[in-house]
Amino acid sequence: MPRLRADHGVPYFPAFLDLVRKRVLVVGGGHVATSKVRALVPCGAHITVVASEASAHIRDQAMAGRLEWQARGYQAADLAGAELVFAATDDCTLNAQVAQAARARNIAVLAVDDVPNCDFIAPAIVRRGDVVIAISTGGRSPAMARRVREHLDATLPRVWGDLLEVAASAREQLGQARTLIEPDQWQAALGGEVERLTENGQLEHATERLLSKLERTLFDSPKTGLVSLVGAGPGDPELLTLKALRRVQAADAVVHDRLVSAEVLAFASPHAERYDVGKSAHGGGSTQRDIERLLIDLACQGKRVVRLKGGDPFVFGRGGEEALALARAGIPFEVVPGVSAALAAPAAAGIPVTHRGLSSSVTIATGHDTSAHDWHALAQTSGTLVFMMAVEHLDTICAQLIGHGRPTSEPAAIVQWATTSKQHIVLASLGGIATAAREAGIEAPAVLVVGPTAALSGRLAPEGTHAEAVAV
């Protein structure tokens, strides 16, 4: 059903106002007025709060000389000399009265929760020093704006305010030479060692290193890019590490596997090139050599490349092969570890892979190449066994373990699409898990867990998880 124009928010023009030494009037002293004061104080404005009662924060700011509090009711004369007005009381009629009086004097005004009486809105703000992100919902939902702010505040690196100081200092010292440096070169130079030094509080050293890197770009021939071998985790996009998220967001090209979700890929810039190089269970898709050549080619174009793999790049992800290929070609690379499904899938199913009195070790094995294992050693280990990519050869895995001494009655579980909304758990004995998985329609991707702790899933699996126990 198409929405009416009235259903849309106001198409505000986003801007940042210079309020230094300008008079701002806040009418009201409660929670909402306090939130406006918190945002205004860092802006260097001359703030006047008019309210019979005021919050502890407003009183403290007045005592510190950061604002003037008039402990009385609003008067029309309070508008004199104001360049911005906030009507922030809990009285809608009074707020509207203040707004109308301000507009009559051509003073921009915001009346709380009253969009028709607003010339502007105060966005939700995330600050890292002079790095400021403002969030608007067009006046439709302050709660949604707060939710976005909280999400950004939790993910935006705390060091970015200091990193801005480093960048600004380097920019000033470069003088006019800075105009010869491309924006992409600035962005690349700010990462890596410069960011690490800044995180450690070594701002002068970080500035020197940044200048060194930038000055080199004025004389050096074009350099190759960086390839980041990044673990995308087991499926849930919220299980990406912060470093993985930053690499994906900054990538010029993302080379990803078949099982990397659309939600994870959505973190990449819309301008980033995307290459699906996923392999199917039956050998389709790109070859490993094709993938390695693609990574080298993209890096030679000077691009920031993210090789995005499900789980962890070095846990049955062939990340080691790609790292060796890059090293042989002289391509700079890094490894960003991810949360492996080998540990995440059991945890998501309520199965601790180690548990006092039940299992003191965990062995992770591939289910893809069953001829590569010492089955006697696997069967005789007393700890938990976790098989990745287990579906295709599930019958063989179970038969080999039982044939080499693992009890048929031992608890087992298979976890499909772990950590996602499609997660499905099947619990059975080792002797019956293959049949139970077939009857449940289990397909790849799935992880097999064998050992006493698998029995705990029935009690520890998260509420709402699709799990079925089969008595076989």
Pairing relation of β-strands 446-450 and 411-416?
A: antiparallel
Catalytic one of 36, 257, 309, 312: 257
Residue 44's closest CA among 144, 163, 143, 130? Answer: 130
C-alpha neighbours within 13 Å on the C-beta side of residue 214: 31
Sign of the Cα torsion 295, 296, 300, 306 reads positive
Buried b (16+ CB within 10 A) or exposed e, 420-436: beebbbbbbbbbbbbeb
**Residue 431 CB partners (closer than 8 Å, separation 6+):** 398, 402, 408, 409, 472
Catalytic one of 153, 243, 279, 297: 279
Active site residue 312: no
CA dihedral 155, 158, 161, 163 (to 10 degrees): -100
Active site residue 114: no
Distance CA 221, CA 219 (A): 7
Element (H, E) at 127: strand 124-128
DSSP, res 4: P
Distance CA 248, CA 264 (A): 9
Q: Which residues form the catalytic set?
A: 257, 279
